[in-house]
């Protein structure tokens, strides 16, 4: 699901980077909470998605009004940062980041291929 959302905004790299960053902040907060709470499975996913929304809204409230208009970008979707944070937890930051890039590029190339076939 996440790579398709990222593909939709592939022409807006700042927005992609901001979404990844919110996912990373969500992951770090989730790791901190996990020291004090018993989080696993669906409960961890639900808390991750909720935290992603809270982090997104917090950063949009405090950070975005201070940025220049040309750098203004918002997070892609509301649950995407939580899904990214959950994947960070399961696979690690590097593996998840590389797989997101790879699968998003595969979706992008598939889109180009389908469009070129439709023209013929």
Q: Tens digits of per-residue pLDDT, 65-110?
A: 666 655 555 778 888 999 999 999 999 999 999 999 999 999 999 9
Q: What is the structure's pLDDT at 62?
A: 78
In this structure, are residues 15 and 77 in contact, taking their beta carbons and an 8 Å threshold?
no
Other residues' Cβ atoms within 10 Å of the Cβ of residue 23: 29
- Element of type H or E holding 107: helix 93-119
Tell me how many degrees the CA angle 10-12-18 measures, rounded to the nearest 5.
105
Angle (nearest 5°) at CA 44 between 39 and 50: 125
3-state class (DSSP) for residue 81: helix
36 pLDDT tier (thresholds 50, 70, 90): confident
Helix (H), strand (E) at residue 57: helix 41-62
Residues 13-31 pLDDT 10s: 888 898 999 999 999 999 9
Is the pLDDT at 61 greater than 70? The verdict is yes
Q: How far apart are CA 22 and CA 38, in angstroms?
A: 23
């Amino acid at each position: 699901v996440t790579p398709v959302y990222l593909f939709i905004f592939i022409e807006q790299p700042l927005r992609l980077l901001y979404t990844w960053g919110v996912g990373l902040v969500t992951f770090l907060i989730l790791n901190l909470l996990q020291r004090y709470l018993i989080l696993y499975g669906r409960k961890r996913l639900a808390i991750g998605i909720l935290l992603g929304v809270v982090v997104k809204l917090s950063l949009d409230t405090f950070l975005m009004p201070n940025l220049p208009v040309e750098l203004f970008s918002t997070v892609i979707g509301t649950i995407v940062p939580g899904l990214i944070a959950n994947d960070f937890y399961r696979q690690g930051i590097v593996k998840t980041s590389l797989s997101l890039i790879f699968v998003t590029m595969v979706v992008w190339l598939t889109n180009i291929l389908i469009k070129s076939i439709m023209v013929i």
